[in-house]
Amino acid sequence: MTTIEGGETDANPAVRRTDDWDAGRLHELAAEHDTPLYVQDLDRVRENCDRLLAAFPDADVRYAVKAHTGRATLEAVREAGLDAECASAGEVDRALAAGFDGGRLHYTAVNPPARDLDYVVDVAEREPDLTITAGAVDTLDRLAERGYDGRLCLRVNPGVGAGHHEKVRTGAAPKFGVPYDRAARVAREAAGRFDLVGIHAHAGSGIDPDQLDSHRELVSRMGELARELTDPGAPTDAPLDLEYVDVGGGFGVPYREDAEPLDLPAVAEATRDAVGDLRGLALAIEPGRYVVADAGVLLTRVNTVKPTPGETVVGVDAGMTDLLRPAMYDAYHPIRNLGGADGEPTPADREETPVTVAGPICETGDTFCTNRAITRPARGDLLAVGIAGAYGYEMANQYNSRPRPAEVALADGEATVVRRRERLADLTRVERESAEVDR
């Protein structure tokens, strides 16, 4: 086996490309379960968890649940040894159902609704080791009003953001965290009302190698703040007894075929260097996308091929309701033509040709790519949309009254349906149940 960047071998590369999936197996799954269909490889999820734990052996590694909340995935992450970072009450509920106990749960909401706070505070009464992260003084007051005085982490806005799109760069956005210049004062005040155990910041989502300087700057600022808060030699303020500094996640994966993967061991070393001496505090990270992105693929069937004067439009049965990222973020996902419905390989005489792959939604933005060269599609071909395991199914919706797709999980060679395909009756179920309650 050859060695590649970061000391990986080709048997377990730092990123799983779309061409690495077994085309025959994907054809079998599509034939058995229909399309659109998400396929999530739990073995790959575990490999990615192991890679993170090896790169950050002394850190608390917490999976950002919002990347993929399926129970099978959460159970695989838990078994691999990662904690769960939850952005909503629903994610806390899912993590509990997947077997996480309070000591491995971190609730990190932004502007949490009242019902979410009510639920999580109630959970904390049963699971006192659960940690709640707050990013506003108002949120601290709301927690105190509910009688909460347990484990608290303060989210800080370090003024440094990074990420694959402006909509996911959180580190400098006013929405997220207490401003850095006020953080020390707010932390000391919070320590008088709660069991303050940590400070937290997050640069953004999908940080690529070109943005690591911003990530390092965020980490450096958080290290400085931690030392200020815990300094026993401070002239006026007593040192706080913190447990950890959480510098977030956002580690990117290469969606484009020619993009290099993150050198994770180098990122880990740079993170440790940037945070500096934490004087016994633990370092915590919150990867989400890195854990699950390349473990998932979306299968979709070609139903229409329409040549036009400007371009050839290839219509498929998946759309922005199944995978929203291209429409929302102009995100790139690799697309591989796996050939016809009979499972035979794509004929060799079909050359690559530029096409626009479009879904069935009544929106111009419902496209997966525009004028991209792929092996010339024909009606009935199966396309694999790659690197779809993160924020794919999570952002699926019922716009245009389209049922959400099914999801199959692969583990040890076996395939299991972990989310059944919604039926048309599911679209009106809540309305029908409401009507029955009103009678």
Q: What is the pLDDT of residues 282-300, one digit of tens each?
A: 999 999 999 999 999 999 9
Could you count the other beta carbons within 10 Å of the beta carbon of residue 102? 19
| Cβ-based burial of 355 (10 A; exposed 0-12, middle 13-18, buried ≥19) | buried
What are the beta bridge partners of residue 3?
Answer: 9
Is residue 208 very low, low, confident or very high in pLDDT (cuts 50, 70, 90)? low
Which pLDDT belongs to residue 191?
96
CATH 2.130.10.10 corresponds to the domain 42-290: no
Q: Which segments of 135-252 are extended strands (E)?
A: 151-157, 178-179, 195-200, 244-246
What are the beta bridge partners of residue 296?
Answer: 40
Residue 59 backbone dihedrals phi, psi, to 5 degrees: -105, 155
State the pTM of this model: 0.90
State how far the Cα of 92 lies from the Cα of 88, in Å rounded to an integer.
Answer: 6
Asked if residue 294 lies in contact with residue 319, where contact means CB atoms within 8 angstroms, the answer is: no
Using one digit for the tens of pLDDT, what is the confidence trace for 345-371? Answer: 566 678 999 999 999 999 999 999 999
| Weakest-pLDDT range from 49-63, 88-102, 213-227 | 213-227
Q: In this structure, are strands 131-134 and 105-108 parallel, antiparallel, or unpaired?
A: parallel
- Which helix (DSSP H) or strand (DSSP E) does residue 96 occupy? helix 89-97
Determine whether 153 is an active site residue. no
Residue 356 backbone dihedrals phi, psi, to 5 degrees: -110, 120
Q: Which of 49, 86, 153, 362 is catalytic?
A: 362
pLDDT at 158 exceeding the cut of 50: yes
Q: Which segments of 109-255 are extended strands (E)?
A: 131-134, 151-157, 178-179, 195-200, 244-246
Asked if residue 346 lies in contact with residue 337, where contact means CB atoms within 8 angstroms, the answer is: yes
pLDDT at 97 exceeding the cut of 80: yes
Query: What's the average model confidence in pLDDT over 380-400?
Result: 96
Could you count the other beta carbons within 10 Å of the beta carbon of residue 183? 23
Using one digit for the tens of pLDDT, what is the confidence trace for 57-82? Answer: 999 999 999 999 999 999 999 999 99
Superfamily name and number for 294-426: Lyase, Ornithine Decarboxylase; Chain A, domain 1 (2.40.37.10)
Q: Where are the domains of the chain?
A: 42-290, 294-426
Asked if residue 251 lies in contact with residue 287, where contact means CB atoms within 8 angstroms, the answer is: yes
